[in-house]
A and B are shown apart, each in its own frame.
Chain A
Amino acid sequence: MQAETKDHAELAAIFNKDEARVDWHDETLWWVRQKRDKAVHVLPEWETLRETASQIKNNVLSNLSEYLQQFEANAQANGIIIHWAADAAAHNAIVLELLLAKGIRKLVKSKSMLTEECHLNEHLESNGIEVIDSDLGERIVQLAKEPPSHIVLPCIHKKKEEIGDLFHTHLGTPKGNADPQFLTETARQHLREIFLTRRAALTGVNFAVAQTGEFVVCTNEGNADMGAHLADIHIASMGIEKIIPERKHLGVFLRLLTRSATGQPITTYSSHFAKPRQGKEIHIIIVDNGRTIQLGREDFRNSLKCIRCGACMNTCPVYRRSGGHSYHTAIAGPIGSILAPNLDMEKYADLPFASTLCGSCTNVCPVKIDIHQQLYKWRQVIVKNGYAPAAKKAAMQLMSHTLSSPAAYHTAGKAGRWALKYIPFAVNNKFNTWYRQRDMPEPPKQSFGEWYHKNRKKK
């Protein structure tokens, strides 16, 4: 990759310098994966639920404009104000305008990966608006001035001691105190003060129901409710793909979401917002930001089914050992690796290659996105569009040439085995990435082909 930013392999290599930390990261996420397994294996209808959800989403993606308009009309009838944003810039501008119009300088925000995707915080802060993330994990990474490393567990890369240090610096807790109970209580008091004094709240949208014009926000901490209920103005940011047709479909998705995400039967709070209370306002910003382009890419449109549970990250053996930040995009892991190239193919050309194509992501996906198949397909698209490194291209051409000709293949095989045996230093050196931490296979006296020719053909 010629880009200035480091690619996944380089960033993952940096993360892997601290092996004990990698082990801890891996085990923490594997523990979540196991919780998920326990929670889904008690439901005999689990695979049926997944298939149902996938089919509902097929319907949504095939009739997206219709459902969005239906949602808009019903929400408006409920007294909600609808805004449409073609891209991140438009979304950010709308939020800023809404706040400035009311002279609001401080915003309390609950979890929304869409605003991360749009870099809303940076935009608001550069315009003099203070943004406080109210999800505990998000607040922690915000204090650390880092992006979330996981869509459901934003600070999963941080140890409790590091959180203790952050709280000591920013919230005045005693130095060295890393007791989770104590830190959580501190955050609770700190956030309560913010909830009580802020006039505007922004939330994400987990599900928007076309039939009723209402939307549902799922949190475990109740922070979305605290923000939204106490504020004069509630802004909800949603991607166009968050639509579900009818209220009855919620049952399918709410059962799938947290079992997949954390192994809980359901989120602690699944809050329905249908209409503003008297004197208050609810605004919904419906955002495209590249989604219609992805919808038009037949091989990749299924990625828009994603309900952001993060199960693919928890199960991904690569994600667990490379950390979310190595994906250098708002949504990390396998799902991020098929969403990001749609936003910027050159910048994220490395991500579809950050996978062994083991397929575990596809198996855990509650809406049956063929993630690993899409990773494979993105690789083809990225190479065709010219974003493969030159050295890789040359190596592949040479390999293709050799493997297309039995004579060239036999000669190369013989030469390779001879080199390994008689001049091992030519192979076992620092330029051989395989050899750095692994021994080369021992070269056999003869290939199978040679053995077969001698022992079977001559019989």
Chain B
Amino acid sequence: MTVGLFIPCYVDQFYPGAAIATLELLEKLGVNVVYPENQTCCGQPMANSGFEHLADGCNKLFLKNFAGFDYVVAPSGSCVLHIREHLHSDDKPNLATELSQKVYELSEFLTDVLKITSLPSKFPHKVGMHQSCHGQRGLHLSQMTELVAPDFSKPGRLLQMVEGIEIIPLSRKDECCGFGGTFCVTEEAVSVKMGKDRIEDHLQHDAEYITGVDMSCLMHMEGILKRQGSKVKVLHLAEILNGK
């Protein structure tokens, strides 16, 4: 099995640690991982802003870079959701559809494809888990509080495999952090207020770290935490699962 590693643009530029952890974790679990060096972005920033038609270049690149793999894995629920729902090609529509179904978010790949039951990792800290909306509601990585259905969480189950970790409860289990792509700047006031409230929930339950499957939500919360002078840190799920 060869997996194409898709590292979203902002993770590549600002959070290489999350990407390295993803790569190392997959390799540790025996997966052959290849990182196509000419990748850029999934195209979501344009599409969610109403400019889906300007995402063509990104679509073409994505197809070119990833069409040959058995699976494509990315440490981002949001980008994966975008590819699943909107990857598009006028020339090769079938190839685009096929590829869009082979793209997995990291925690769902570990749970549904690799079906792992244990991890050699250790992280003796109090951790709050931020359920990013696109991962949770879009990819259904965990059950949502609005629905009447049994509870489960793919990233939650993976975190439970980590030695020494204490996952703190939250008052609002799956509230949005307010990042929302370009929403974070076009609706700055509400975005920041949502972020502050989301952080407060974690802080009130004594989190030392906030983790999640989407670095974008974590980047937004980190920006507010730092501005508040908080010592609480954000870490991508992969960094905890890969912790030694």
Q: Does A358 contact B (CB under 8 A)?
A: yes
CB distance from B208 to the nearest CB of A (A): 19
27 A-B contacts (beta carbon < 8 Å)? A13-B190, A15-B189, A30-B172, A41-B148, A47-B148, A47-B149, A321-B197, A356-B183, A359-B137, A362-B137, A379-B48, A379-B50, A396-B46, A399-B46, A404-B61, A409-B41, A434-B184, A438-B220, A441-B219, A443-B14, A444-B16, A447-B13, A448-B7, A448-B11, A448-B20, A449-B12, A449-B35
The secondary structure that dominates the B interface is helix
Q: Which 5 A-B pairs have the closest CB atoms?
A: A404-B57, A356-B180, A438-B223, A379-B50, A383-B50
**CB contact between B192 and one of A41, A315, A437, A440 (< 8 Å): that residue:** A437
Decide if B37 touches A444 in the complex (CB within 8 Å).
no
B-contact 0/1 string along A7-48, CB 8 Å cutoff: 011001101100100100010001000000100110110110
**Could you say which of A356, A358, A363 contacts B147, with CB atoms under 8 Å apart?**
A363
State which residues 173-200 of B face A: CB under 8 Å.
Answer: 174-176, 178-181, 183-195, 197
Q: Is the CB of B37 within 8 A of A452?
A: yes
Q: Mark B132-165, 1 if CB is under 8 A from A, else 0.
A: 0110011000001111110000000000000000
Across the interface, do B61 and A322 meet the contact criterion of CB distance under 8 Å? no
Q: Is the CB of A434 within 8 A of B223?
A: yes
A456 touches B35 (CB 8 A): yes
B40 to chain A: closest CB distance in Å? 4
Q: Please tell me if A403 contacts chain B, counting CB pairs below 8 Å.
A: yes
A396 to B58, CA, bound (A): 13
The smallest C-beta distance from B196 to any residue of chain A, in angstroms, reads 8
A-chain residues with CB within 8 Å of residue B56 when the two chains form the complex: 404
Chain B interface residue number, banded: 35 or more
B133 touches A9 (CB 8 A): no
Tell whether, in the assembled complex, residue A355 and residue B14 are in contact, meaning their CB atoms are under 8 Å apart: no
Across the interface, B187 reaches (CB within 8 A) one of A8, A393, A396, A416, namely A8
B45 located at the interface, meaning its Cβ lies under 8 Å from any Cβ of chain A in the complex? yes
Which chain B residues border A448 with CB–CB below 8 Å?
7, 11-12, 16, 19-20
> Which A-chain residue is minimally distant from B55 (CB atoms)?
A400
B13, B16, B20: most-surrounded residue (chain A CB, <10 A): B13
Which applies to chain A's interface (DSSP): helix, strand, loop or mixed? helix
Q: Give A313-325 as 1s and 0s: 1 = Cβ < 8 Å from B's Cβ atoms.
A: 0010110011000
Interface range on chain A (Cβ under 8 Å from partner): 35 or more
Would you call A406 and B38 a contact (CB within 8 A)?
yes
B49 interfacial by beta-carbon distance below 8 Å: yes
**Chain A: minimal CB distance from B130 (Å):** 12
Task: Select from chain A the residue with minimum beta-carbon distance to B16.
Answer: A448
Given contacts A360-B133, A404-B58, A447-B13, whether A353 and B187 have CB atoms under 8 Å apart is yes
The answer to whether A382 touches B50, judged by C-beta atoms less than 8 angstroms apart, is yes
Which residues of chain B from 18 to 40 have a CB within 8 Å of any chain A CB?
A: 19-20, 23, 35, 37-40
**B54 contacts partner chain A, Cβ-Cβ < 8 Å:** yes
- CB atoms of B137 and A9 under 8 A apart: no
Against B, the Cβ 8 Å flags (1 = close, 0 = not) of A431-459 are 00110111111111011110111001100
Q: A19-B193, A359-B137, A441-B223 are in contact. Are A436 and B14 (CB under 8 A)?
A: no
- B178 CB contacts on chain A under 8 angstroms: 317-318, 356
For A382, what are the chain B residues with a Cβ–Cβ distance below 8 Å?
Answer: 50
Q: Say which residue of B41, B180, B187, B227 sits within 8 Å of A357 (CB atoms).
A: B180
For B53, what are the chain A residues with a Cβ–Cβ distance below 8 Å?
380, 384
Within 37-76 of B, Cβ neighbours of A (below 8 Å) are at 37-41, 43, 45-58, 60-61
Q: A380–B7 contact, CB under 8 A?
A: no
Evaluate whether A12 and B187 lie within 8 angstroms (CB atoms) in the complex, with A358-B133, A396-B49, A404-B58 already known.
yes
Contact A396 B51 (CB under 8 A): yes
